[in-house]
Structures are given as structure tokens and as C-alpha cells.
Structure 1
């Protein structure tokens, strides 16, 4: 085992073998997260690597907020390859210290309120085009296949990045291979298809940087390319990594959150009826969907910088610490009746986008997309329903993701 991850000096009563990448774990995610939401941190062994799993809300906030004890920067250790799923790209979510803070300041205006307002009208147009393909004759369809899986490709790659068909194909291939990283055995090399996808993505991003530098527009890439703070600006490598960060993190997470919202809201017809009759509840319903069925079970790992403890559980220097926001969002000490979807709850301090200095920089964008998507779906299809309200979702995606595989729905035809 890698240094700092040995189980030999840990309390055996707190050690559990858990395959977080297994289908069985994903299918029972709610049971696991409900249990973790009230228990102190414990040790999980996955592929011979020991990790500290953190589920309670207060413990999660402590890990997220303390940069002196916990770092997101990946140590160069054999067996940690699975955590380098972006193949050496220095994404903002895995950087710390002054360098992280500087890059975040440079990036922030591209995701600010003014920038988001510029994209709002274009987003509504794209959403309506996507919703046009849903059948309205009462036949069943998979809304994940027809709408969810294309949501961020259309909004981000088409509307916000203004990519052409060839460029979109490169980013989609990169998105497709990323889950391979979490299944790598300790010490294994990345497969060639993974290497090829990242090589093509790197070349395409540098091509886009050159294009936007020569002919800037009002898209997000142009905003990043021309970002300035006093005399500071991105280097070409930093620009590449900033653009990659946005694509790699947002393309899947927002799609997963949208599917989770559809499941959570449509499985609660009384709450759905309330939102349909009072559209001012949409923002609260979105937040409740993010709380009850967010996009991820775990966030990027942290690494202990010193011997410490959280919630009474000892953590040794070098250990991997995994926060489970899906568990923290179910903590009954923070959210009473946590398994109940309440469109009026308007939950605060949910951790689906992280917390502290590493809170998702694109969270405003994700929330805007979720709000606008729900609004347009309710406007266009007031009778949209689940084909089977009692269906049990199945899940796909890489370890830590919560990606519904399908949601079968129907739109009953309008009565004459």
C-alpha cells in the first residue's frame, strides 16, 4: 500500500471493505448515504487503498473548509493513478494555495451574473429546440436519452463555447473515456484510447485559444482568453487547464443533477403539483433536488497534510479523505425528515457543489441551467408524467457519480 494508507495501525472496528465502483453500491446508494449521514468518519478499503469516508454535514464542512489540514493536490504515489482522471491536467479543483486563489480570481468573471445573463436567452432557445423532439402522442420515451444526455453538449459546447461539429466530437470522446480512470488497478497505465482522447482534446483547446485570441466573441472561452486582473492574465497552459476544467466537470455533473431533479420531483406528485401551480417555487425545488438527489456521491479526494482527526476518528498524514456530499445532504440534524422531498424547504448549505474555497466555480451556471430547464419543461409539457411512478432508477457512470441510466416518461395527448 502507498505511504499513509496502511490499515495496520487503524482501529479494525472502523475498517470496511467497500467497492464504491460496483453496481451493487450504486443501486443502494440511498441506503449507504442515509447510514453515513449520522455516523462518524470511518475507514474504507478500496483496491487495497485505505480512505477515510466522511458523511456527516459538520464533518464534511470541516474537511472542506480547512486548507491547513487537508489538500486537494494529488500526491505522486503509486496506486493514486485513479485519482488523476484528468491525465495530468492541473484542474482548478485539484489545486491549492495562492496559485489556486489567483486562477480562481481570473476565472470568476466568466461565470459571474453579467456573463450568465448574456447566455440566458440563447439557453432558452436551445432548450426549446431540444424539447421539440419529445413525443406528445402519449408514447413512452427515455428523457435521459432524448434530453438529459444532450443537455450540456448543446448548451455548453454549442451555445456557450460555439464549437463546430468536429470540435464537439473531440470533447464528447474525452467525456466518454474519463470513467476508465476510476477502474484502473493500482499502478496500471492509462489505456491508449484514453491517451488519444486527451491528446486530441489538448490540441483542440489550444486551437480554440488561438481562434478566440485572434477573433474574440461573447462566449465563455473568449472571456477566459481575455481575462485580466490588473496586469495578470492566464498563460496558455493555464488557459488550457481552465477550459478543460469547465468541460470535464460540468458536462456530466449538471446532466446528472437534472436527471436527479426529474426523479425526485416527479416521484412526488403533490410537490410537482405545487411547483406547477406556483412557479416561484422552482428555485427552491431545484435546491431540494440537488440536496436529495445531487450529481455525485463523493467529491474530489482530499489528502491529510498532518496527523489529525475529524469527528473523533484519527486521520494519519497522507491518508485519502473522501467527503460524501450525498450523505451530508441527508444529515437529519441539518435537514429534518431528510428523505422527504419538500419543494418549499429551500435548503441552505447543501454540499452538492462542495464548500469553502473549492466550491464549484460554475455553480451559478449549473443552477441557472437547472432552473431554466425545469421552467421550460413545465411550460411546454404540463402533463408530463413518469410511465411508472414506482420505478426504481438504475445508475451508470464512474465511481462517485450518480448518473441515472434512464427515466421513462410520457406526455399524454391534450384532450379535445
Structure 2
């Protein structure tokens, strides 16, 4: 029996058992290849910052990793890079996510949230993923990149396909990648011909000023910013709303003191971490993690979700507590690969939750079972059906 059996269906029960049994486990991934799973907080935090654990797939031993392959034009991104390339590329794109730029985005984010909520009726039922949690981040990230409105529905469909591929349609993920590659090729050509006030135009200008950003790196950055900027945030917003609806005492407390929503976002991220597993890593030499020797080149998965529920770091970790000290949570990573878009994801989630609670004093889960995406890496809802009533004017 594989120690990770049941992880998709009952992740926190399995993670609890794994933490209690041993700090590092040899498991079999969904693709049938072996991997090492790190589950305890201190070990996970150390592993995320260990320079011997490489993100570069060229360090993987043949046959030990068969992850989904992107074409070279999309694969030269920060999730596959180590220093010095990672340092160089991250510096170039970091200007998009400075505190000052994020602060300027807050008003447009709120306008988008209000527009989406305006589209809902005065009362009734709605799927908050489809109507709110998904279109908000896709609008924000597409505005940032300068992607035309007409393409945004396609991007959402392509990204959803890559987050949780449908086993019944094995070719869908490859088709989505081909479609995205073709679109970005055309879009970058258009931006070169007619630059605009957006991030893609800025990155093109940086490349053409000779700052050693290759064409594949440029294309891959556009892909990563879109994909990660959508994926993490839609899941964080949906998970946050679900957590509140399942914990009415915490919901009531936040309604009484909405000024605490920014702090609450940190607990939402810890409690239901949107990216359950950090991006896979490959030891460049034999590495000992919590007394377990992992051979060079084998795949290491660091469970952010398990680390964030480790009682050695967060007392009573399976309880949602908006007043909890969440400092040091790993939901958005740690070390040099800490999520570049974390400030934007936080701002979007804060604004999304605040706007929703302000508009709808009556909000509850609708009847029916909740369905989670079939993914070990991404923790997010397929749909979030709710009943609601708008605040009377």
C-alpha cells in the first residue's frame, strides 16, 4: 500500500497520518513514478530554502520524473530555473509586483469585484467560482499583461484544463498548451508593433534593450504570470469564502470587524492552502532531509498544505482561527522561490472577500456536495454554490 493512498479524497487525514509516522515518505506519484514527500513544517521550510534542491529538470535522474512537458517556448520560466538565471529573470519581472504598483491596482480590483457582484441578482443562488472567484483574477492578470478582453474566456478554459486535466480527454492539456503558445506568439508580435502601457510591452522593451531576456524566457514569463496569477488566486478566493461559510462564528467576527480581513487572508491561506505541493525539486547531490537520505536526481515534493497543518508549528491546526498568529506560514512558499505574485494574490483576496461580505449580509452554502479539483498540487473547488441576499438600499 502506498503511504499517500487517499490523498486526493482526504488530504488532511492522510497528511496527519504521514506527519505522525515519519517526516519524509517514499510515495508513488499520479504518473506512476516515485517521489519523496516532505510533510513536517520545519523540514519543509528548510527544504524550500535548500540550494541543493534544484528546480531545473536537467538534474532529474532519467525515469524518476515524468511531469507534464511544456514546449521550450513556455518551459523557460522561473519554476524551472536556479540561480543565476532565476535571479536575473526574477529581477526583470519583479517590477510588476512592487508594493507601489500593487497599491495602484487596488482601486481597479475593487471596481472589477463590484461589477461582478452587480451582475448577480438581488437574491437567489449562484456559483461563486464561476461568477466571482474565477473572473476576478483572470480580469486583473489579463489587464496587467495587456491581453485583449476577447481572449479571456479562452485563457480561463485553457488554464483550467492545465490545472486539473480530465482523464477522459487525455489530449486536452496538450491542445491547451498549443493554443496558448499560438496566442502568445501572435500577441507578442502585436505588442512589438504597437507597444502599450502593460507588462508585456515593458518586458519586450527590456529584452530589446539587451538585458539578456531570451525569446523563450519572454514567452515563458508571459505564460507563467498568467497561469500562476490566475490559478493561485481563484483557489485562494474560493477557499477563503468556503472556510468562512463553514465557520459561522469566524464569519460573524469578520463581519463585525471587516478591518481584519487582510489578517484573515493569511489564515485562509494557511488553513486551505491553494497550492498543496510546492513545485518539484531535484537534489544535485545526495541530500539528507530529517535523517532520510534522498539520492541525487530523484523527485522531492514539499507539502505546503501538510506543513501549514503541522501542530508543532500551528497549535490546533485543523481549526480556522482568524485571530491566529500565522507568521511563517508556507502557503506562498519560502526562500528565493517565494511566490512573486504574493502581494497581488493577497490584495485580490482581501478585496474580494471584503466586497462580498459588504454586499451580501445573507450568504450561505447551497445544498449539495462540494467538488474539489482532482489534483494533488492544486487545492481548489470546481464550484461553490451559495444562496445569498443583497443588502437593501
After TM superposition, the structure 1 = structure 2 runs for residues 162-177 of structure 1, keeping only pairs within 5 Å, are 162-177=146-161
Distance change in 2, residues 1:191/1:182 (3 Å): closer
Which of the residues 364, 367, 371 maps onto 1:385? 364
TM-superposed CA distance for 1:197, in Å, is 3.0
Change (3 A) 1:83 1:56: farther
Relative to structure 1, the CA distance from residue 169 to residue 413 in structure 2 (aligned partners, 3 Å threshold; closer, same or farther) is closer
Q: Is the 8 A contact 1:43 1:50 kept in 2?
A: yes
Distance 1:168 1:79, change over 3 A: farther
C-alpha displacement of 1:383: 2.3
Of 344, 349, 373, which aligns to 1:396? 373
Whether 2:41 is the aligned partner of 1:73: answer: no
Match 2:135 to one of 150, 162, 167: 150
**Distance (Å, rounded) in 2 between the aligned partners of 1:37 and 1:132:** 45
Equivalent residue number for residue 239 of structure 1: 218
1:366 is aligned to: 345
Q: Does structure 2 conserve the Cα–Cα contact (< 8 Å) formed by 1:397 and 1:403?
A: no
1:160, distance to aligned residue in structure 2 (A): 2.3
TM-score by length of 2: 0.89
Counterpart-to-counterpart distance in 1, 2:120 and 2:150? 26
Q: Distance in 2 between matches of 1:35 and 1:259?
A: 27
Aligned equivalent of 2:46:
62
Per the alignment, do residues 121 and 86 of structure 1 end up closer, same or farther by CA in structure 2, a change over 3 Å counting?
farther
Shift in alpha-carbon separation, 1:206–1:228, aligned structure 2, 3 A: closer
Match of 1:134 among 120, 129, 132: 120
Counterpart pick for 2:258 among 279, 288, 311: 279
SS at match of 1:377: helix
For this pair of structures, how many residues does the alignment match?
Answer: 388
* 1:201 equivalent in structure 2: 180
- Provide the rounded CA distance (Å) in 2 between the counterparts of 1:114 and 1:213: 26
Following the alignment from structure 1 to structure 2, what is the Cα–Cα distance between the partners of residues 230 and 212? 15
Judged with a 3 Å threshold, the aligned counterparts in structure 2 of structure 1 residues 101 and 361 are, in CA distance, closer, same or farther, namely same
Confirm or deny that 1:356 pairs with 2:335: yes
Higher mean displacement: 71-80 or 353-362: 71-80
How far does residue 415 in structure 1 lie from its aligned partner after superposition?
7.5
SS across alignment from 1:314: strand
Unaligned ranges ≥5, structure 2: none
Aligned twin of 1:106: 92
| Separation in structure 2 between the aligned mates of residue 78 and residue 127 of structure 1, nearest angstrom | 46
Shift of 1:56: 0.5
Aligned counterparts, 1:171-320, within 5 A: 171-179=155-163, 193-227=172-206, 232=211, 234-320=213-299
Contact 1:142 1:409 survives alignment (8 Å):
yes
What is the distance in 1 between the residues matched to 2:156 and 2:252? 36
Distance in 2 between residues matched to 1:120 and 1:415, nearest whole Å: 26
Separation in 2, partners of 1:31, 1:252: 24
Higher mean alpha-carbon deviation, 363-372 vs 167-176, is at: 167-176
Residues 229-251 of structure 1 deviation map (CA, whole Å, 9 limit, x = unaligned):
99625233221111111112222
Q: How many Å apart are 1:118 and its aligned residue?
A: 2.7
Q: Is the 8 A contact 1:209 1:221 kept in 2?
A: yes
SS in 2 for 1:374: helix
1:29 to 3, 7, 11: 11
What is the CA distance between 1:286 and its match in structure 2? 0.5
Contact 2:360–2:389 under 8 Å retained in 1: no
Deviation at 1:17, TM superposition (A): 5.2
Q: CA deviation at 1:166?
A: 4.4
> What secondary structure is seen at the aligned counterpart in 2 of 1:395?
coil
RMSD: 2.8
Distance 1:402 1:174 in 2: 18
Alignment partners' CA distance in 2, 1:200 and 1:151: 22
- Residue 30 of structure 1 aligns to a residue whose secondary structure is helix
**TM (normalized to structure 1)?**
0.84
SS state of the match for residue 25, structure 1? coil
Q: Does 1:326 align with 2:305?
A: yes
Q: 1:193 to 1:228 in 2, by over 3 A?
A: closer
